[in-house]
Structure 1
Amino acid sequence: MWFSQKKQKVTQHNTTQVLANILSNGIDVSINELIQYQTKTSLINLAARKDLHGKMSGNYLARSKGRGMEFDEVRHYQTGDDIRAIDWRVTARTGITHTKVFREEVERPVFIATDLNDNMLFGSQLLFKSVQASHLAALVAWHAKERGDRIGGIVFNQYKHTELKPRSRQQGVLHYLYSLSNIHQNTSEALFNTHSESDTSKGSAQKSFDENCGRIRQLSKPGSLVYLITDGNHLSQESLRHLTNISRHCELVVCLISDPLEIELPKSDKKINVAVTDGKKKQQLLIGDKNLAKKYKQQAEELTQNKEALLAKAGARILHFSAGTTLETQLKNGITSWTR
């Protein structure tokens, strides 16, 4: 018992230290903790992963080839090639006319949609899922700003949402960060308001998710890089229909945020009955039962695989993040593959 108590104190101390390092209390979202990700943009890479629709000039290398700022290769001259691109050195050396091929630079807006519905306000170890989602959104926004891209998006819960038109300056990032902080505070206040109608909150959360996926579809321009940051618990046929449409014209990346307790039950040498609640219903859970733990983990894996299959069918690239570890740790240690 003494060892268990000592281990628990060490764990609590380590958690407190980690939270202090990322300027967070794990529950709320402050501007300062989001601004700090301005110095961590090297952790990710927003390079294009699929063909871009639209012929605009800018900072991204398109899959299509043509005249541009970035040299790609030398190949045999073909009818219709611009004679100004002929590589005379290779032509003289081989005796066959060769031409230089470039990759065109294409600009695209980065559109970030962050889900802060009630179900995101949950965390068992380090952060609420909603806090981790806000950190990830901030990191993507700062990285896009550093590349000179225009940043826009939606921050939403089941009570309200904020739409932000793409902007190319730091002001655009800060506008998005303030929206994250404000909507997150709004979610917390509404969730813990004892006068709120609990029977309608679940339905409104589902409706909110579907409607905001529809708004993303309307607002994201062809060729955009679209990030949807959510736990995926409200995926439905309606929202998947919108996401499928988005992926046809944009590069869609869905970042699924999960909590360690949603993946598997805590390990224990002794069987302990604990009370659990989702804020509305209560039930008992037996910790330390190996059979129950195995069944719980299998069901969690099946649920995750089902989400992945639905999102993959919709044309999304899927990335997983945990709320139990800092974002920086996951990206540095390769826990999450950003470019897979």
Structure 2
Amino acid sequence: MTAPADKTDGFVYVSLSQLMALQTPARGLSFAARQPRASILAGNHASRMRGRGLNFDELRRYQPGDDLRHLDWRASLRTGKPFVRSFSEERDRPMLVVVDQRINMFFGSSRSFKSATAAELAALAAWIAFHSGDRVGGLVFDDQQIESFAPLRSRARVQALCASICQHNQALNAGIAEVEHDTQLDTVLQRCLNLASHDHTLCIVSDFAGATPRTLQLLRQLSSHNDVIAMQVYDPTALALPESGRIRVTQGELQVELAIDKKHIRQPLGEFLTGRLRDVAKLLRRSQVPLLMISTAEDALSQLRRELGRLHEVHR
């Protein structure tokens, strides 16, 4: 199911050409451990990002100058001669981009919809990993389906992932009902655990609606052996409703106006939106996973660059 061409404006619905065009601006961005001082991944967060590791290469005879910490005692005792284990630097880390396209993401009050912003962020994450020479895969999910892509080091794999994101994104419409007691997010995270046993980088892009203590447990399990980054997409109305007037919520052709100047509407709506965002953000921080909060009111690339601490480098 696809949206009419005139609807793929990048704000309500995204197009494949739009996501593929993010390849160039994604250059220079990195999820690696060594980040600029201003980065969210720097300082206390740096230890959570493992960076490159070492792979066992071979068992060989000890040579003067070899690191004694690499002595293989079993082989040395068995042969009566000193043997050491040699290692080579890990050349890549598989990246899994996990992107939420559930109906709760199909909302926007100003610049773009959460679903469109999430699609852009996911594509940027995929291109960042691709430019780093890493294998790229991912999971794209909506309310009913989960589509997975095994990590490969190829532009074609990034394109296939972006195409899937577009397909799920363009299938969203206001006629889809929200699922009560939605457990799809936890189902996806459990799938991630099965796919990424260790030494993966996972970038999870979602509003994290429906997050529960089980979600917290799964995030902690994932981050114990992998690098996990959470990008929480939110709409600015979740931070503060305007003091007066009306806000217009649109789904392209369908528009609804809320009279927020009326206290009996504004107060409960504001408390609900801010409370939900605050609770989810608090839960994510408890997971010890680096959290990047991205607003739908601003360009996704600019926010990601700023969150990763790259803007100060651009202006130097």
TM-score (norm 1): 0.67
* Alignment check: 8 A CA contact 1:164 1:176 kept: yes
* Alignment check: 8 A CA contact 1:231 1:257 kept: yes
* Whole-angstrom CA distance in 1 between matches of 2:265 and 2:100: 31
* Partner residue in 1 for 2:294: 321
* Partner residue in 2 for 1:307: 280
* Alignment check: 8 A CA contact 1:130 1:184 kept: yes
Indicate the SS of the match to 1:27. Answer: coil
* Whole-angstrom CA distance in 2 between matches of 1:78 and 1:293: 69
Counterpart selection for 1:202 from 179, 187, 193 = 179
Measured after TM superposition, the shift of residue 295 of structure 1 is 8.4
* Whole-angstrom CA distance in 1 between matches of 2:233 and 2:211: 13
Counterpart selection for 1:131 from 86, 97, 116 = 116
Measured after TM superposition, the shift of residue 136 of structure 1 is 0.4
* Partner residue in 2 for 1:80: 68
* Partner residue in 1 for 2:260: 286
- With over 3 angstroms needed to count, the CA separation of the structure-2 counterparts of 1:233 and 1:51, relative to structure 1, is closer
Measured after TM superposition, the shift of residue 25 of structure 1 is 4.0
Number of residues of Structure 1 aligned to a counterpart in Structure 2: 266
- With over 3 angstroms needed to count, the CA separation of the structure-2 counterparts of 1:43 and 1:135, relative to structure 1, is farther
Indicate the SS of the match to 1:227. Answer: strand
* Alignment check: 8 A CA contact 1:275 1:285 kept: no
Matching of residue 150 in structure 1 with residue 123 in structure 2:
no
* Partner residue in 2 for 1:5: none
* Whole-angstrom CA distance in 2 between matches of 1:46 and 1:254: 12
Counterpart selection for 2:191 from 215, 219, 232 = 215
Measured after TM superposition, the shift of residue 79 of structure 1 is 7.4
Within a 5 Å distance, the mapping from 1:149-298 to structure 2 comes to 149-188=134-173, 191-192=174-175, 198=177, 201-203=178-180, 206-268=182-244, 272=245, 285-287=259-261
* Alignment check: 8 A CA contact 1:267 1:288 kept: no
Partner AA of 2:128 in structure 1: H
* Alignment check: 8 A CA contact 1:319 1:338 kept: no
Which of the pair is proportionally richer in helix? 1
* Whole-angstrom CA distance in 1 between matches of 2:247 and 2:293: 28
Counterpart selection for 2:27 from 42, 53, 59 = 42
- With over 3 angstroms needed to count, the CA separation of the structure-2 counterparts of 1:141 and 1:297, relative to structure 1, is same
* Whole-angstrom CA distance in 2 between matches of 1:164 and 1:28: 22
Structure 1's unaligned 5+ residue stretches are: 1-19, 54-59, 68-76, 83-101
Structure 2's unaligned 5+ residue stretches are: 1-5, 34-45, 58-64, 71-86, 311-316
Partner AA of 1:247 in structure 2: S
Q: Which has the higher contact order (CA 8 A, sep 6+)?
A: 2
- With over 3 angstroms needed to count, the CA separation of the structure-2 counterparts of 1:161 and 1:331, relative to structure 1, is closer
Indicate the SS of the match to 1:61. Answer: coil
* Whole-angstrom CA distance in 2 between matches of 1:321 and 1:41: 16
* Whole-angstrom CA distance in 2 between matches of 1:326 and 1:277: 19
* Whole-angstrom CA distance in 1 between matches of 2:91 and 2:282: 30
- With over 3 angstroms needed to count, the CA separation of the structure-2 counterparts of 1:261 and 1:106, relative to structure 1, is same
* Whole-angstrom CA distance in 1 between matches of 2:289 and 2:141: 20
- With over 3 angstroms needed to count, the CA separation of the structure-2 counterparts of 1:35 and 1:315, relative to structure 1, is same
Measured after TM superposition, the shift of residue 42 of structure 1 is 3.3
* Partner residue in 1 for 2:52: 61
Residue-by-residue CA offset, 1:112-160 (whole Å, 9 max, x unaligned): 1101110100011111101000000101111111111001110000121
Indicate the SS of the match to 2:282. Answer: helix
Partner AA of 2:111 in structure 1: L
Higher Rg of the two aligned structures: 1
- With over 3 angstroms needed to count, the CA separation of the structure-2 counterparts of 1:275 and 1:305, relative to structure 1, is closer
- With over 3 angstroms needed to count, the CA separation of the structure-2 counterparts of 1:184 and 1:244, relative to structure 1, is same
* Alignment check: 8 A CA contact 2:96 2:202 kept: yes
Indicate the SS of the match to 2:186. Answer: helix
* Alignment check: 8 A CA contact 2:52 2:93 kept: no
Indicate the SS of the match to 2:148. Answer: strand
